[in-house]
Amino acid sequence: MSSQRNQAGADGVDLSALSTRGLDKSFGSLIVAKDIELALPQGARYALIGPNGAGKTTLINLMTGMIRPDRGQIFLGADDITALAPAVRVKRGLVRTFQINTLFPHLNALEAVTLAICERCGYAGTWWRKLPAYGDAIEEAHAILLSLQLGAHCYRATRELAYGQQRLLEIALALATRPKVLLLDEPAAGVPQGESAELFSVIANLSRDIAVLFIEHDMNVVFRFANRIIVMVGGRILVEGTPQDIAGDPRVREVYLGGARHG
Amino acid sequence: MASSVAAEPQRYLEARIRWRPIEIAFWLATLTPFVLTPNYLVLASQIAITALFALSLDLILGYAGIVSLGHAAYFGFGSYTAGLIAKWGWGEPLSGLLIAGAAAGLLGYLTSFIIARFRHLALIMITLGLGLLLAEVANSASWLTGGADGLQGVRMWKLFGVFAFDLYGTVAYSYSLAILFLLFLVARRVINSPFGLALRGIRENAIRMPAIGAASSAHIRKIYTIAAVMAGIAGALLAQTTETVSLETLGFQRSADVLVILILGGAGRLYGGIVGAIIYMVARDQFSGINPQYWYFWIGTLLVAVVVFLPNGILGGLARLMPSGRGEP
Amino acid sequence: MIASAFGVLFDGFAYGMLLFLLSVGLSVTLGMMNFVNLAHCSFAMLGGYVTVTLTNSLGWPFLATLPIAFLAAAVVSVVLERVLYRRLYRATDLDQCLLTIGIVFISVAVAAYIYGTIQQPLNLPSYLRGTVSVMGQNLGVYRLFLIGMSLLATVVLVLALEYTRFGAKVRAAVDNQRMARGLGIDVDRVFAMTFALGSGLAGLGGALAIEIVGLDHAFAFTYLVYVLIVVAVGGLGSIAGSFAAATLLGISDMAGKYYFPELGAFLIYFVMVTLLMWRPMGLFGRR
């Protein structure tokens, strides 16, 4: 285990919650990540934006361990986690949600979140005590669901929930693991405009202890919730800065508007 | 902050796993063969043994989603272990049962390291291959297993020193039924534990599990071992109640049959294996006069019909008929 | 020793070629649609029984029955695909296994009902019997014929795959089904035709198998295991993989039977399990 200190974050904090150094990944001749260097400080609210195919989800897959990088390192706090399995990274506090709902269709919301809590507390392997005996875990699960306005629906099977509620359940599962770093992959994907406001108020109210990086396409949402924006194009980080910097950056405008001006 | 009164979600979960009246009625009904059909107690004990075997397959297939075409390996291994122990002079039934279960469990534990690493076709093929391998080994090692002639010289002592295994099957059925019920209680507890919830998680979405920090491989190894112990005990029961062991206890035919039985009754519903075993064994007994070819014709047709029209087996079909049902398993 | 080693290799290769014909259809359709068709060998069995009926009862010459065996298997597979299989393309592995095992049971029972449970006799024409001397080795004429037919089929398959439009569509559908659909390829139709072709080849294999391994009502089950081994070891969707795995399996089996008869089928199962553990996707598999 490397005891290297990682680099200082962009706003001068000594230790980033999550950082990467020189991350590279290609599939044959297709480069999906090139020289990715980023540092997420504690309590961050970072947005990761870029056109389709820029490699944003791939970057999350790399950081969570679902794909192995060709080169580079990933640090969670001071620890080098590059070689760790995905489940171990989750136990250390690095958690992600999925762009497409990846839930347990026949479990109800209460069971799903309780499961996540049992895994966190280490008693998911206990086969000789019945589940209702774990009152604390069930209480905590219920509390999380209440805080996400899912309390009334917690007994319904996941596949019976509305799409927006399922997206909230995605986040509930992530919160149940008590993350230090939360990577949200397009949390409002597919959710109608009217309902996504609630989703984002949930994200806005997340504890300041958690560092959040979210992938998003809706610029209004990005400018409202992010205090820093990273722009990715073609597997590389094009530019990183405050919302004002990014809004005014001509390169970013070219990427999104392709140079064409409207009026 | 534990309160003496259970909170509502807790009570909800409690209610879902409570014993239903129909379950109690079912288990009471299993006592009726002693009174109603005393001539069929040998068949009844065979059914109990098959039900236990099917229950063990349900744990890995219905709850963890592992498709195994070679589960009879553990049944047969338990059967031969129990038979050999008795043949070599130790005919005490209960201790023989425990030793056979432990042996099958050890085999299951060792093979689980292989099983947990694969999915889809590779997994199906490996379970098939391992089962066929063990059957070949048993066939070749005829100095130990008796080969195609089967194991001879299995003599059981009296159960508890009092009850002798008789020809009428009274002791056999009591013994098998008691063991089935005990292990059923164990299975029921496993299903309703946090571990059971984790297994269902693996079955429902194997990708999500590591994302919530679950060590899926460890869970799979654990349930596979538990299922192997149970299958081994079922096999041992067969050896002890019939005082013989044959190669077919390890064979592909037995693995395929138990799969059919479980699907027929409905996988993932705890009672599916038992219901399937009752229907299958009774039907087979009734039609035993027929040419075996016709039997497999009807089983094939039934299998096709079940898959197309009743994907969750008989219990699944019944559950759909009932309005509220007992909630998702 | 060299003579017998060569003999084992030759017989093993011939057996491997037979396994290849029986398996290649399953490998490609599994790779394309991920549909687990355990009834694949029932089509082979059908081809075998067609040949037997035509030669024994109707006096047809053996060679003339081969295309009929191919066609019969292909036609029946199309019917089955339309009526049953189509409903289960999105079903779980388990359901597909169970459905197709049910069909195997039915086919085995029907075969026993019509033809009984005995081995079927076959009268080969005289020019296919006996041995011929090649470079000092006595090679079975029928086995040479079998090898020739299989290699011919392989060449035709590979050429069709590489150089025809249909072949291009097949390759696209195996490689990435969603993308192929997105390009406007009617994947369902391509699959149906590939399925018919693969089943037809199995039927041909079944007809050719009679002389080598015999034909009885349990053929659909007995050879299912070997075919599954070839497909799993060779890798789904790969003709080269099936070829390599079939050859490997055929020669191992012959060698095992000749040099280590006490081991029985142990060697093949052991080879399969270890190969799958090393390469779960098969020797040439993707994904």
Residue C127 has a pLDDT of 81
Task: Determine the 3-state secondary structure of C151 from DSSP.
Answer: helix
Instruction: Say if CB A184 and CB A210 are below 8 A apart.
Output: no
Residue A14 has a pLDDT of 60
Residue A257 has a pLDDT of 63
Query: Which secondary structure element, helix H or strand E, spans residue B82, and what is its range?
Result: helix B72-87
- Burial (CB count <10 Å: 0-12, 13-18, 19+), residue B177: buried
Contact across the interface for B307 and C98, Cβ inside 8 Å: yes
In B, which residues are within 8 Å of C285 by CB distance?
none
Asked if the model's pLDDT at residue A10 lies above 70, the reply is no
- From CA A95, how far away is CA A93, in angstroms rounded? 6
List the CATH number of the domain containing C175. Answer: 1.10.3470
- From CA A85, how far away is CA A36, in angstroms rounded? 20
In C, which residues are within 8 Å of B293 by CB distance?
108-109, 112-113, 117, 217
B13, B16, B18: best to mutate for the A interface, most A CBs within 10 A: B13
- For residue B86, name the pLDDT band (cuts at 50, 70, 90): very high
Asked if the model's pLDDT at residue C264 lies above 90, the reply is no
Global pTM? Answer: 0.86
Does A7 fall in a domain? Answer: no
- From CA C239, how far away is CA C23, in angstroms rounded? 9
In B, which residues are within 8 Å of C287 by CB distance?
none
Portion 61-100 of B in contact with A at CB < 8 A? none
In B, which residues are within 8 Å of A134 by CB distance?
194
| Cα of B182 to nearest chain A Cα, Å | 14
Higher-scoring residue by pLDDT: C162, B19: B19
In A, which residues are within 8 Å of B202 by CB distance?
none
Task: Determine the 3-state secondary structure of A24 from DSSP.
Answer: strand
- From CA C129, how far away is CA A175, in angstroms rounded? 75
Going by the DSSP 8-state scheme, the letter that residue A180 receives in this structure is: S
Q: What is the pLDDT of residues A43-56, one digit of tens each?
A: 889 999 998 888 89
Report the half-sphere exposure of A94 (CA within 13 A, side-chain side): 26
C102 → closest Cβ in B126, B252, B301: B301
List the CATH number of the domain containing A59. Answer: 3.40.50.300
Domain extent for A208: 18-257
Please give the average per-residue pLDDT across B9-34, as a whole number. Answer: 92
Mean pLDDT estimate for chain A: 87
Asked if the model's pLDDT at residue B99 lies above 80, the reply is yes
Total beta-carbon pairs less than 8 A apart between chain A and chain B: 137
Does A13 fall in a domain? Answer: no
Does A10 fall in a domain? Answer: no
Contact across the interface for A154 and B9, Cβ inside 8 Å: yes
B121 → closest Cβ in C36, C262, C263: C36
- Buried-exposed string C140-155: b where 16+ CB fall within 10 A, e elsewhere: bebbbbbbebbeebbe
* Chains A and C are touching, with contact defined as 3 or more CB–CB pairs separated by less than 8 Å: no
Nearest chain C residue to B203, by CA? C92
Query: Which secondary structure element, helix H or strand E, spans residue B109, and what is its range?
Result: helix B93-115
Does C225 fall in a domain? Answer: yes
Please give the average per-residue pLDDT across A111-128, as a whole number. Answer: 94
User: Could you tell me the two tokens for A224?
Assistant: 């409202």
Nearest chain B residue to A145, by CA? B9
* Chains C and B are touching, with contact defined as 3 or more CB–CB pairs separated by less than 8 Å: yes
In B, which residues are within 8 Å of C236 by CB distance?
121
Q: What is the pLDDT of residues C190-231, one digit of tens each?
A: 888 888 999 999 999 999 999 888 898 889 888 888 898 898
Portion 6-25 of B in contact with A at CB < 8 A? 6-7, 9-10, 12-14, 17
Q: Which chains form contacts with chain C, at 3 or more CB pairs under 8 Å?
A: B
- For residue A2, name the pLDDT band (cuts at 50, 70, 90): very low
Asked if the model's pLDDT at residue C251 lies above 60, the reply is yes
Residue C3 has a pLDDT of 65
B122 → closest Cβ in C103, C109, C232: C232
| Cα of B247 to nearest chain A Cα, Å | 33
Higher-scoring residue by pLDDT: B12, C91: B12
How many structural domains is chain A composed of?
1
Does C287 fall in a domain? Answer: no
Measured between CB atoms, does A155 come within 8 Å of chain B? yes
Contact across the interface for A108 and B208, Cβ inside 8 Å: no
Does C27 fall in a domain? Answer: yes
> Where does chain C have alpha helices with state H?
2-33, 40-52, 62-83, 93-115, 141-163, 165-175, 177-182, 187-213, 219-234, 239-259, 266-278
Nearest chain C residue to B294, by CA? C109
Does A220 fall in a domain? Answer: yes
Contact across the interface for C93 and B121, Cβ inside 8 Å: yes
Partners of A30 in the beta sheet? A27
Contact across the interface for A124 and B194, Cβ inside 8 Å: yes
Does C83 fall in a domain? Answer: yes
Does C284 fall in a domain? Answer: no
- Quote the percentage of chain C above a pLDDT of 70: 98
Q: Which chains form contacts with chain B, at 3 or more CB pairs under 8 Å?
A: A, C
Nearest chain B residue to A172, by CA? B212
Contact across the interface for B213 and A119, Cβ inside 8 Å: yes
Higher-scoring residue by pLDDT: A148, C135: A148
Q: What is the pLDDT of residues B236-256, one digit of tens each?
A: 999 999 999 999 899 888 998
Portion 107-136 of A in contact with B at CB < 8 A? 107-108, 110-112, 114-116, 118-120, 123-132, 134-136
| Cα of A94 to nearest chain B Cα, Å | 9
How many structural domains is chain C composed of?
1
Contact across the interface for B9 and A103, Cβ inside 8 Å: no
Contact across the interface for B126 and C281, Cβ inside 8 Å: no
Does A30 fall in a domain? Answer: yes
Domain extent for C238: 2-278
In B, which residues are within 8 Å of C273 by CB distance?
114, 126, 129-130, 133
